[in-house]
């Protein structure tokens, strides 16, 4: 019984990382109905850049904002190179284009930093502590704190600043927002910037646990997709709940069935969710119009 709890809790904490990446999908989906299929590469590239900064001697707590800034820039690049044209043409070309840009980023990372995994130093200790008989490491806790605070800050931004309200206005009705003098184009850029920042945060938080390498995000991203689809692309609360659930589930699956099957529950859940609730558990149904 203890083992189940132990596995469940540490899995759930990892699940928060999926939730954070999925939240990044929601940000861009809200403004532009598009998502970055190369988001995993953004996570990985930001982690590598952050690691490089640490290696150059930048202190950890200065590296964090610098890393986030790099994430913002990468997000903006994706928007300009892969998304804007397709949105102007009202096509779904962005799916293929973001995949392509991600592939380029992957290859670049492979050649610049090599194919090996590197450890990611962190000042936060990884000695386990006991909570109600369950072992939790401060690093794992830092993931939870980091994820929830970033998401909280962005939600605060959306609700408490006029900029944020403009962001919500574009999500609700793009044409009407334009009539208020809000530039939809800039808001979409903002959403990609924020989404890049969120990806960078995910990279920085998860790297001490997974180590940094070109393939570090390929499994992560599949599960983030699963979380985003199962929760629906609208509800920030939904991704946290589903993220925790899926994290716990896969950790138990790998314990009881075999570690190779670790990814399977998320993928099956995703296909099932798409089949039964295409708008997600927390999503709303849409009305067809002609």
| Residues forming the site for another protein (CB under 8 A) | 34-35, 37, 81, 84-85, 92-93, 95-97, 99-101, 103-104, 106-108, 110-111, 161-163, 165-166, 168-169, 172-173, 175-185, 218, 222, 225-226, 229, 258, 260-261, 263-264, 266-268, 270-272, 274-276, 278, 287-288, 290
CB 59 within 8 A of CB 237: no
Structure tokens at 51: 């690691």
Task: Give the DSSP letter of residue 118.
Answer: B
Least Å from the CB of residue 80 to another protein: 9
Q: How far is the CB of 170 from another protein (least distance, A)?
A: 9
CA-to-CA distance for 246 and 281, rounded, in angstroms? 14
Radius of gyration in angstroms for the set of CA atoms belonging to the chain, rounded to a whole number: 19
Among positive and negative, which fits the CA dihedral 70, 206, 259, 241?
A: negative
Neighbours of 246 (CB within 10 A): 28
Cβ proximity to another protein, 11 vs 266, nearer residue = 266
Here the tokens at position 84 are 């804007």
Smaller CB distance to another protein: residue 136 or 267? 267
Minimum CB–partner distance for residue 30 and another protein (Å): 11
* 134 or 174: CB nearest another protein: 174
Q: Least distance in Å: CB of 153 to another protein? A: 13
Q: How many CB atoms lie within 10 A of CB 234?
A: 17
Query: CA-to-CA distance for 80 and 60, rounded, in angstroms?
Result: 30
CB of 127 to another protein, least distance (A): 33
| Complex with another protein: residue 59 or 117, whichever CB lies closer | 117
Residues in the chain: 290
**Smaller CB separation from another protein, 146 or 266:** 266
């Amino acid at each position: 019984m203890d083992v189940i709890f132990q596995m469940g809790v540490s899995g759930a904490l990892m699940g928060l990382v999926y939730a954070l990446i999925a939240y990044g999908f929601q940000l861009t989906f809200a403004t532009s109905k598009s998502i970055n299929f190369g988001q995993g590469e953004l996570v990985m590239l930001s982690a590598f850049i952050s690691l490089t900064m640490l290696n150059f001697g930048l202190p950890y707590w200065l590296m964090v904002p610098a890393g986030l800034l790099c994430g913002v820039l990468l997000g903006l690049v994706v928007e300009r190179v892969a998304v804007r044209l397709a949105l102007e043409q009202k096509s779904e070309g962005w799916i293929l284009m973001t995949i392509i840009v991600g592939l380029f980023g992957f290859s670049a990372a492979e050649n610049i930093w090599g194919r090996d995994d590197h450890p990611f130093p962190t000042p936060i200790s990884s000695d386990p502590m006991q909570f109600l008989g369950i072992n939790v490491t401060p690093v794992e806790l830092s993931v939870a704190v980091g994820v929830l605070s970033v998401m909280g800050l962005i939600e605060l931004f959306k609700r408490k600043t006029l900029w944020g309200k403009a962001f919500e206005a574009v999500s609700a009705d793009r044409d009407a927002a334009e009539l208020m003098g809000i530039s939809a184009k800039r808001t979409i850029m903002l959403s990609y910037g924020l989404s890049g920042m969120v990806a960078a945060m995910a990279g920085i938080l998860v790297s001490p646990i997974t180590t940094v390498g070109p393939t570090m995000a390929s499994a992560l991203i599949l599960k983030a997709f699963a979380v985003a689809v199962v929760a629906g692309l609208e509800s920030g609360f939904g991704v946290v709940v589903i993220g925790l659930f899926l994290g716990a589930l896969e950790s138990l699956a790998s314990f009881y069935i075999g570690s190779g099957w670790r990814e399977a529950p998320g993928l099956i859940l995703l296909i099932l969710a798409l089949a039964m609730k295409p708008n997600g558990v927390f999503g709303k149904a849409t009305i067809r119009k002609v």
